[in-house]
Structure 1
C-alpha cells in the first residue's frame, strides 16, 4: 500500500519537489544518490540519501508546528536518519542555498 502511494506521490510531485529533484536526481549533487517519495516504516519521505542516512522534507505552510512531523522526525532519528526540512518558499527563492546546506550536512560541515 505504501509503495503504491509513494509511486502516486512521485507522479503528483509539487513544484518545489520537482525543482529539488531536478538538482539531485542521477547523482547530480556531488555524486550522492537520492531517491524520492520513499516509504520508511509507516511514513513516506520526500527525499532520502540512504548512503548518508539523510532525509530531506519540503514543507508547505500546512506543516507549520505539525505534531505529525515531530513524530515522523523522532521515528526517523530512531532509525539513524538525520532530517532536514525546507519550506517550499526556500526552494522557490534559492534552491542553490538549500542544496549547499544539504551538501554541508552530508559532508559533516553543518
Structure 2
C-alpha cells in the first residue's frame, strides 16, 4: 500500500507530512509489531486509519485491540470524510493529538529505512 496509496491516503498524507498539523510529526505505513498503521504520530502514540469500503468491522476491532494493548490510540476516518471534509478530519486528529500524553520528553528520532530523522 505504501507504493500504491489510495487517493484519500495521499491527500491526508499531504496534510500530515512535514509536521504541518500542529507541529506533530507523522509517519505513513508504519510497522507496529505484525501490523501496519496507515499513519502514526510516534510522540503521541496515535494511529490514524483511513477506512474504505472494504474494511471489516470485526477485523478492525481485533486490530485496534492489539494496538491498544501496545499503548496506541487508534482513530478511524473514512475515505469519504477525507475527500469531502478534510478540515473536519484534521480538527479531529489535532484534538486527539492535543489530548494525548507525550510518550517521551523530547522528540524521538525516526530510525526509518529512509533515514528520516537521522543525523548524518
Flag whether TM exceeds 0.5 (same fold).
yes
For structure 2, list consecutive stretches of 5 or more residues without a partner in the other structure. 101-120
**In structure 1, C-alpha distance between the alignment counterparts of 2:95 and 2:37, rounded to whole Å:** 20
The ranges of structure 1 where at least 4 consecutive aligned residues each deviate by more than 6 angstroms after the TM superposition are none
1:98 pairs with 2:86: no
Larger relative helix fraction: 1
Q: CA deviation at 1:26?
A: 0.7
* Map of 1:51 onto structure 2: 43
Cα deviation, residue 64, structure 1:
4.8
Provide the C-alpha distance between the structure 2 equivalents of 1:105 and 1:39, rounded to a whole number of angstroms.
21
- The whole-number CA distance in structure 2 between the counterparts of 1:61 and 1:36 is 20
* Structure 1 length-normalised TM: 0.87
Distance (Å, rounded) in 2 between the aligned partners of 1:48 and 1:96 = 19
In the other structure, the counterpart of 2:6 is 14
TM-score (ref. length: structure 2):
0.80
Cα RMSD (Å): 1.2
The superposition leaves residues 32-76 of structure 1 with CA deviations (integer Å, 9 ceiling, x where unpaired) of 0000001111111100000000000000111152x1111110010
Residue in structure 2 matched with residue 68 of structure 1 by the alignment: 59
